[in-house]
Structure 1
C-alpha cells in the first residue's frame, strides 16, 4: 500500500514540475512588465498549493 501512495506522490510531483516548466516557457516570450506579472502569478499559484 505504501508503494502505491509513494508512486502517486511521485506522479503528482512530476506533473507539478512539468506544469511549472511549461509556465516558465510562457514567461520567456513576454515583455519585461509581463514577465514580472507572470512570475508573481506563478509564485502565488505555488504558494497556494503548498498550503
Structure 2
C-alpha cells in the first residue's frame, strides 16, 4: 500500500529555521510524506 500527503511544519510547532547562503531556507514549511507499507498475516497455532 502506498500513501502520500503533505503537512505544514508550523502546524506541529516547528518554527526554527536558518537562511542559506545560496538562497532559500534550511527547513521548508511544506513537508512531503511518502509511505510504502507492507503487512504479513501471521496465524497463531
**TM-score, with structure 2 as normaliser:** 0.23
Which one has a larger percent helix, Structure 1 or Structure 2? Answer: 1
Which one has a larger percent strand, Structure 1 or Structure 2? Answer: 2
If asked which structure has higher relative contact order (CA below 8 Å, sep 6+), I would say 2
Rg larger for:
2
